[in-house]
Amino acid sequence: MTSTSIKAVVLLSGGLDSTTTLAIAKHQGFACHCLTVQYGQRHAVEIDAARVIARQIGVEQHVVMPIDLRQFGGSALTGDIAVPKDRPLDSMSEGIPVTYVPARNTIFLSFALAWAETLGARDIFLGVNALDYSGYPDCRPEYIAAFEKLASLATKAGVEGTAFKVHTPLIDMTKADIIRRGLELGIDFALTTSCYDPTPEGLACGHCDACLLRLKGFAEIGISDPRPYAN
């Protein structure tokens, strides 16, 4: 990475989508500063995955930001609500499931914005997807546009003329498209973890929304998911 590269902040969870997003940002020539937010999620195994991925793909810097959303509760991913299993795929975009974490992407993007401004960057990458997804409101294009508008009003850089850009290269892609693009870019998907409810050893459950969407994506392109599953 040369010193003339344009800096970007990339939100990296350690999942399939954010890893592909990172590979795309890097392929586009950005100097990637990765941010992983450890928010008290059950699936903390993804933090370890993010560290390995950042090292393997090669990034300028990787910051893990611990915050404790369990203090608020209200989600199956941070509280005591059970993660739903074996939901029909065609019902996932109808209604918002209990795995929704209140204001999660707004918190993530706020941190990314703070770091971008400090770095002198205007580009933020977020691996949201509005097609094969769980119906979360903060994955929609209109939400992203509202955040970009806020970012320019919120910051010193914005007042001074910086138009922050939230890149969402996956937003219109199917899970199969994302996997295909990731494979083209050389991602080892065995390193990525998507499961909302992994075993203590980090094996994917195979039954939560995230596992079902991922398995469907691999099935569609006719290859098997290299990530180990519990059953």
In this chain, which stretch among 19-27, 82-90, 136-144, 197-205 interacts with its own copies, using CB under 8 A?
136-144
Nearest approach, Cβ of residue 177 and its own copies (Å): 25
Nearest approach, Cβ of residue 64 and its own copies (Å): 9
What is the gyration radius of the CA atoms in the chain, in angstroms?
17
Instruction: With CB under 8 A as the rule, give the number of residues binding its own copies.
Output: 44
Q: Show contacts with its own copies in window 66-95 (CB under 8 A).
A: 66-69, 71-74
Amino acid identity for residue 231 in this structure = N
Is the Cβ–Cβ distance between 124 and 112 less than 8 Å?
yes
Q: Does 171 participate in binding its own copies (rule CB under 8 A)?
A: no
Q: Which of 215, 135, 141, 227 is nearest to 175 (CA)?
A: 215
Closest to its own copies by CB, 118 or 186: 118
Length reported for the chain: 231
- Token readout for 29 is 């020539």
Cα angle 112, 108, 33 (rounded to 5 degrees) comes to 35
Note the Cα 69 to chain centre separation in Å: 17
Cα angle 99, 45, 62 (rounded to 5 degrees) comes to 105
Is the Cβ–Cβ distance between 125 and 10 less than 8 Å?
yes
Q: Does 202 participate in binding its own copies (rule CB under 8 A)?
A: no
What is the distance between the alpha carbons of residues 86 and 30, in angstroms, rounded to a whole number? 38
Nearest approach, Cβ of residue 118 and its own copies (Å): 3
Q: Does 158 participate in binding its own copies (rule CB under 8 A)?
A: yes
Q: Does 204 participate in binding its own copies (rule CB under 8 A)?
A: no
Closest to its own copies by CB, 154 or 203: 154
Return the residue of 3, 4, 153, 200 that touches its own copies, per CB under 8 A.
Answer: 153
What is the distance between the alpha carbons of residues 118 and 155, in angstroms, rounded to a whole number? 10
Closest to its own copies by CB, 66 or 186: 66
Contact residues toward its own copies (CB under 8 A) are: 63, 65-69, 71-74, 96, 100-107, 109-111, 113-115, 117-118, 137-138, 140, 142-143, 146-147, 149-151, 153-159
